[in-house]
């Protein structure tokens, strides 16, 4: 669909410019000028629709955890407020926590299991 719009935009722009150019002949033709302006406007609109991005990129991080995992309640390091899953985010590839209560932002580190 994108390539069809770009093709139609090219045709419309080509003929729009030809009509505008032809309007300034020896007898001035205002009808050709109006048709050329409308055709050029339609071509520009089709060009906009053909180049506009319709998809949003979304990064999904999947973590493969080995063995059994024990889930424990986490608390903020600064104020001790309880944290939920929405407070944990990936920023520049590192897991970070943002506390809604005190506004603290810090990286999550995992302690060794041994």
Range of the domain at 45: 2-51
Asked, for residue 45, whether it belongs to a domain, the answer is yes
Rg (CA), the chain: 30
**pLDDT tens, position by position, 6-32:** 999 999 999 999 999 999 988 888 999
Helices marked H in the chain? 2-23, 30-51
Asked, for residue 69, whether it belongs to a domain, the answer is no
Given a cut of 90, whether residue 65 has pLDDT beyond it is: no
Instruction: Say yes or no: 39 and 79 in one domain.
Output: no
Position 72 scores a pLDDT of 64
Dihedral angle sign, alpha carbons of residues 17, 25, 23, 8: negative
* Number of domains into which the chain is organized: 2
Asked, for residue 64, whether it belongs to a domain, the answer is no
- Output the CA angle 104-107-112, nearest 5 degrees: 135
pTM: 0.48
């Amino acid at each position: 669909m994108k390539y069809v719009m770009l093709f139609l935009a090219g045709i419309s722009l080509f003929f729009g410019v030809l009509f505008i150019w032809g309007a300034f002949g020896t007898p001035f033709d205002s009808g050709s000028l109006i048709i050329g302006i409308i055709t050029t406007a339609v071509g520009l609109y089709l060009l906009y629709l053909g180049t506009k991005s319709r998809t949003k990129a979304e990064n999904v991080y999947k973590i493969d955890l080995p063995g059994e995992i024990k889930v424990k309640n986490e608390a903020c390091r600064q104020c001790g407020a309880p944290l939920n899953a929405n407070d944990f985010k990936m920023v520049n590839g590192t897991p970070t926590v943002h506390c809604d209560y005190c506004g603290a932002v810090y990286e999550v580190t995992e302690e060794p299991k041994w």
